Structure 1
Amino acid sequence: MEITRHKPVRASLKPSNHPYLSGPWTPCHEEVDVPELEVIEGEIPADMDGIYLRNTENPVHQPLGRHHPFDGDAMIHAVSISGGRASYRNRFVRTHCFEAEQIAGGSLWGGLMDPPGTSLRPGYGAHGGLKDTGSTDIVVHAGIAYATFYQCGEAWMVDPVTLETLGKAPWGPLDGVSAHPKVDEETGELMFFNYGKHPPFMHYGVVDRSGRLVHYVPVPLAGPRLPHDMAITKNWSILNDMPLFWDEKLLERGIHAARLHEGVPTRFALIPRHGEPEDIRWFEAAPTYVLHWTNAYEDGDEVVLEGYFQDKPMPDPLEEAGEYSHMMAYVDEHSFQSRLHRWRFNLATGETREERLSDRIVEFGMINPAFAMRPSRYVWSTTTRPGWFLFNGFVRHDTRTGEEDVYRLPEGVYASESPIVPKKGATREDEAYLVTFLIDENSGSSHCAILDAGDIAKGPICRMALPHKISSGVHSTWVEHDQLDRAAQWRRTALA
């Protein structure tokens, strides 16, 4: 395997037995290019033609205090597939904070679990004391990849082919950009939100296909909240106000501790895509917390939303984890008990109906992107190792029949969030591939794997060896090469 290794970054991180700095979460610090990956099982489907991009919480420096798995620096791993061949590269996202710590040679900011005053410099985002890492999400809009941070930092632009950091988005507002902006490929628009500790506590915006902020309005809330994701339909954007948010009394002392506020319902804000605050339709629902939505669409007088309802948003500590008991519970799906769920908002009556779609504990789901904002039948979710934020398998849910197709990875092998890639000329929704990264603790290696999305139970139909063991991570996306070509053509035409 031909490998180009780039100049090492400055790193001060020491070996650790911390559960999220070791094992499958051991950070990877080298940046490499591999022009062609070795196929070690099966063959690469000839009709796959795009790039799999995955963001990673990948710390470089020794933490100033206690480490949380969401404190890491952003590293993007990318596998480009075309013509039955695949290449690989990975790069850190050169945010301002990353570069500042490279100059300093060590950490300058505390983490999510640290007390006020830990950071050596003023922080960023909704929290106000954290490093802006861009390490949560990655989406592609108008030919540019955007790495975003869940606590509302800048939206960091990355070339999806070379992974070069291109700087922060020129359209990013002062209030920042949350993770999980949504892209409508048909209109070329990107929708986003942010949140913070000052009125109005939330904003919503729209960026057009040329990268201009064309709409930005407040979404007034009663106080600081902690939304994580949003959803879109053809005509509506869906934001949320949930009862799990920072304790107000502790917040007055600068302590950011989330708690479930009993008796407070879940509220959903439906705003027309280019609507004003007075156009928002509010709907109430059962109290919960939701990390991620899978799809939303319009059905007559109803707007339908699907995602993962948490039965226990305030989980009990995992006592066996000792000093990490609270942290381990808050990132463990089996502790907060997330299950696939559907909400139906009736625009005529103002009523909300809910239904459980699966009793299985799952999260981090994907759909066939060709069915985004349309009624979709299938959701591909990940399962996790109890007690851990580690994906150990996949479930394909048939939301019409309730049937579930399950694939469980071998013991000690863990997956990544896994986009669904439609097969060329597909006529069925599940006529697609599932692409993922695997971390094999048994062999100390990593692979890129492809599964048949219509029959995941048979396991990978192809595996490619990566040049190093990568760290477990968070969100991912797939972009077709022809999407990038169309975006480049549009830019050339617009500039002509």
Structure 2
Amino acid sequence: MKTISFQASPTIVWPNENPYLNDAWRPVDTEWTATSPDLEIIGEIPRDLSGLYVRNGHNPVHESIGRYHPYDGDGMVHAMAFHGGKVQYRNRWVRTVGFLAEQAAGKSLWPGIIEPRKAALRGWGSIGAMKDNAGTDIIVHGGKILAAMSQCSEPYRISPFSLETTGVEPNWARALFPRGICSHFKVDEHTGHMMFFNFGETPPYMNYGVVDRDNQLVHFEPIELPGPRWPHDLGMTENYCVLHDLPLFFDPERLRQGSHRLGFWRDVPSRFGIIPRFGKNVDVRWFEAEPCYILHLSNTFEEGDEVVMDGCIQTNPLPDISGLPTEGYERLKAMLDLHLQKARMHRWRFNLRTGQTREEDLDDQVTEFPMVNGLHNGRSYRYSYNAIPNKGFWLLEGLKKYDLLTGRTQTYMLPQGCYLSEAPFAQRRGATAEDDGYLVTFLTNLNTGKGECAIFDARDITRGPVARIVLPQQVPTGAHAFWATPDMLPDFEAGFEAALQGNY
């Protein structure tokens, strides 16, 4: 079965001079449903692969107000459901209030992250001027998909099989108003707890919270910071969370004048606040470390007296763009170049007994978007699966598997003109080892113009995909992804079969 459920009427003009609206980034205008057996499959889908792969991303419909940034576009979820060797694909826009308002108006009503001063309406996010696009992060918790944007937004719930937006989270979103929830929220698959944070430009500059397995907000605490910050991720262990206070934030003087100009303050140390899972602000223990910025963590765990945090450090998060032309998009490309930002795997050790921090690089190769086996998230682990970014442009062109016990690595590079998405780990049914499973990812294939879903054997990624599923349309480069096991979704098998028959 292949059906079109909705087709938008874009107002974006092509060819477009903005590189983040062309080629691998070019948005699609159609919502598809496609299921077995009407999907071309190259190779064979493993029969012991069962679950839901969801990936979020920014897919704008309308010409932007001011310059478009790749964080600005309307959120669109692409999803693959697997069971018993069968597969189904859907993509749907997240129907936020902002998306629906712009659909009704037939044009953009809010500016993006580059030019928030052009806002004419009340907005969302930590800046308070953006459209709530719910286009960055995505998880499954409480039996439904949860989507949000990185600058803080209302948490939107999405039905896992139909991908219908069911609205703002009904149980606890009101308690977070007006800040909402920021990516990256973390799910402890052992307890069902979801830990999250938000931030803004007025006190309290950060909040930290916990939602339990029954989808009830059971903890919400204001966190004192020296001023407005711009954090992006959150560390989670079995008993603690790690909050980030990093020296990449808006220039305080300019901010008082209403201008949002990011600065990297190289003489200000990074601070990491370790808080017990249900701790208060007074319980936070702050540790100092090398000035840096962090987009994405691999994992955080406890080892004796230490909390160990692994992730992709950036020691040059604001590359020097003074020599680049002010016209065009070379400056934006440089600002997002992970090679210029020097992103690489790094380890921080915070000693809870001595109060000392130790840190070291785990690799000198530029990698980002790390993923781990969800059962080891927050606990001791061995393997991290990272993406290898393109040099000079924000695209992901390969995978690298780290064995943190032996120091050995594996690498797989995609053919030229083909790019991947964040690749979460999907545990094989009956798995006996941490890497006994698959990596699942979307491919943006500029050579064919059709998107694909690729499945890798996580034990040996050098073999390349064991299966590729050709999709009805291109899948643009996106943001974050999540693998949901069947036990995260109520009545998974019945829901899968119903969706396969078109009963959603």
Category of TM-score, reference length = shorter chain: over 0.9
SS in 2 for 1:71: coil
Q: TM-score, normalised by structure 2?
A: 0.94
The one-letter amino acid of 2:4's match is R
Match of 1:300 among 297, 304, 316: 304
- Report the Cα distance in structure 1 between the residues aligned to 2:215 and 2:463, rounded to whole angstroms: 42
Residue 215 (structure 1) aligned with residue 219 (structure 2) = yes
CA distance in 1 between counterparts of 2:491 and 2:106 reads 41
Moved more, 236-245 or 426-435: 426-435
User: Does structure 2 retain, via aligned residues, the 8 Å contact 1:394–1:407?
Assistant: yes
1:55 aligns with 2:59: no
Is 1:421 the equivalent of 2:420?
no
Which residue of structure 2 aligns with residue 44 of structure 1?
Answer: 45
Count how many residue pairs are aligned between Structure 1 and Structure 2.
487
8 Å CA contact 1:143, 1:488 repeated in 2: no
CA distance in 2, matches of 1:190, 1:482: 16
User: What residue is the counterpart of 2:122 in the other structure?
Assistant: 122
Taking the aligned partners of 1:140 and 1:7, their CA distance within structure 2 comes to 24
Q: Paired residue for 1:137? A: 137
Q: Does 2:204 correspond to 1:200?
A: yes
Matching residue's letter, 1:420: F
Alpha-carbon shift at residue 431 of structure 1 (Å): 1.6
| 1:469 equivalenced with 2:490 (yes/no) | no
Deviation at 1:10, TM superposition (A): 4.0
1:191 positional shift: 0.8
- Letter of the 2:470 partner, please give it: A
State the Cα RMSD in Å: 1.6
Q: Alpha-carbon deviation of 1:482?
A: 2.7
User: 2:367: which partner in 1?
Assistant: 362
Using a 3 Å threshold, how does the CA distance of structure 1 residues 488 and 123 change in structure 2: closer, same or farther? farther
CA distance in 1, matches of 2:27, 2:238: 40
The residue that corresponds to 1:14 in the other structure is 13
Q: Distance in 2 between matches of 1:488 and 1:243?
A: 47
Distance in 2 separating the partners of 1:185 and 1:450: 23
Structure 2 gaps of 5+ residues are: 495-504
User: 2:65: which partner in 1?
Assistant: 64
Aligned residue for 1:40, secondary structure, equals strand
Amino acid at match of 1:463: R
User: 1:321, CA displacement in angstroms?
Assistant: 9.6
Partner Cα separation in structure 1 for residue 353 and residue 308 of structure 2: 14
Q: Percent identity?
A: 45
* Matching of residue 290 in structure 1 with residue 294 in structure 2: yes
Amino acid in structure 1 at the alignment position of 2:43: G
TM-score (ref. length: structure 1): 0.95
Match of 2:108 in 1: 107
1:258 maps to which residue? 262
Residue 369 of structure 1: CA displacement? 1.3
Distance between the aligned counterparts of 1:177 and 1:56, measured in 2? 17
Aligned residues of 2:9 and 2:29 also touching (Cα < 8 A): no
Q: How does 1:402-417 map to 2 (within 5 A)?
A: 402-417=407-422
Match of 1:274?
A: 278
Matching of residue 310 in structure 1 with residue 314 in structure 2: yes
Q: For 2:181, which of 177, 184, 187 is the aligned residue?
A: 177
> Alpha-carbon deviation of 1:426?
1.9
> Does residue 1:385 correspond to 2:384, yes or no?
no
Matching residue of 1:241: 245
Is the counterpart of residue 152 in structure 1 residue 152 in structure 2?
Answer: yes
- 1:3: which partner in 2? 2
Relative to structure 1, the CA distance from residue 486 to residue 296 in structure 2 (aligned partners, 3 Å threshold; closer, same or farther) is farther
Counterpart residue identity of residue 422, structure 1: Q
How far apart are 1:319 and its partner, in Å? 3.3
What's the offset of the Cα at 1:115? 5.3
Instruction: Write the distance in 2 (CA, Å) between the matches of 1:249 and 1:55.
Output: 35
CA distance in 1, matches of 2:425, 2:435: 9
**Candidates 458, 463, 485, aligned match of 1:458:** 463
1:83 aligns with 2:87: no
How far is the alpha carbon of 1:460 from its aligned partner?
A: 0.7
Residue 500 (structure 2) aligns with: none
In the aligned structure 2, how far is the partner of 1:408 from the partner of 1:245? 34
Q: Deviations over 1:383-434 (max 9, x none)?
A: 1111111110000011122221100000000000111111222222222211
Equivalences for residues 369-380 of structure 1 within 5 A: 369-380=374-385
Q: Which residue of 2 aligns with 1:493?
A: none
AA matched with 2:153? G
Q: 1:115 to 1:39 in 2, by over 3 A?
A: closer
Q: Aligned partners of 2:472 and 2:368: how far apart in 1?
A: 29
> Separation in 1 of the partners of 2:419 and 2:439?
15
Q: Is the 8 A contact 1:26 1:471 kept in 2?
A: yes
Partner of residue 348, structure 1:
353
Conserved? CA contact 2:452–2:469, under 8 Å: yes
Q: Deviation at 1:169?
A: 1.4
Task: Give yes or no for the alignment of 1:333 onto 2:334.
Answer: no
Alpha-carbon contact 1:316-1:326 (below 8 Å) kept: no
For 2:2, the aligned partner's letter is I
Structure 1 position 487, deviation (Å): 9.6
**Alignment-mate amino acid for residue 65 of structure 1:** G
Whether the 8 Å CA contact 1:142–1:487 is kept in 2: the answer is no
Question: What secondary structure is seen at the aligned counterpart in 2 of 1:62?
Answer: coil
